[in-house]
Amino acid sequence: MQAVEIFQDNAEGWETLIFLYNSALKKVGTKLEILNDEFVHIHRYNPIEYIKSRIKSPESICKKLKRAGHDTSLENMVCHINDIAGIRIVCSFTPDIYRIAEMIGKQNDLTVLSIKDYIHHPKESGYKSYHMLVSLPIFLSDRVVDTKVEIQIRTIAMDFWASLEHKIYYKFEGNAPDYISRDLKECSEIVSMMDAKMLQLNQAILEAKAQQYLD
């Protein structure tokens, strides 16, 4: 059954939910822009390379509910699917990830519901990223609705690996041969080494510039 057919009897409710999630994405996006601008203003450094946002498709939502053994209802969507609204923050260096996460966590009108640190504790596949599930109030004309957004924070190198890993596994519908899974994990280790090397180079450049200034 198509997702459109599943939600046909709840068209108004579905549209309202998507409106709420879109509003939450806009609100988080604005917060991130302000935090990034403030960081540049104070530290003369831009920790965020770029930001991507998306709303999960009806088809993906339904598949995820079915995999978890839930009926495809609006109530189950809200209760059991935490990544309907998603924002991905891509940084230059690994320490930037934790700086940004700390700044997000200090926002008074935003509640951090959970954190998953796949950088210090990577998934078996080699996937690395920092996930925050947050909830924030969306103020409507007649009520306030707390709405969830999943925030993923990763480096450019981590994002490169994750994007290609997703495409590769999509071709195999999640059942890639063992040698492909093994090679992907090896690539993840290479990505981690590259992140560490680029951070080391950046620190060396900063120290060299500081020394030039003293000389």
Instruction: With residue 42 as reference, give the H or E element that holds it.
Output: helix 11-43
Tokens of 102: 């700390």
**Integer Cα distance of 56 and 83 in angstroms:** 7
Distance, CA of 96 to CA of 50 (rounded, Å): 13
Instruction: Out of 150, 165, 186, 207, pick the active-site residue.
Output: 150
Taking a C-beta distance cutoff of 8 angstroms, is the pair 130, 153 a contact? yes
Label residue 201 left, alpha or beta by phi (over 0 means left) and psi (-120 to 50 means alpha): alpha
DSSP count for the chain of H helices, then E strands: 7, 5
End-to-end CA gap in the chain:
71
Contact criterion met (CB below 8 Å) for 153 and 100: yes
Is 150 one of the annotated active-site residues of the chain? Answer: yes
Closest CA to 185 of 128, 118, 121: 128
Residues involved in catalysis: 150
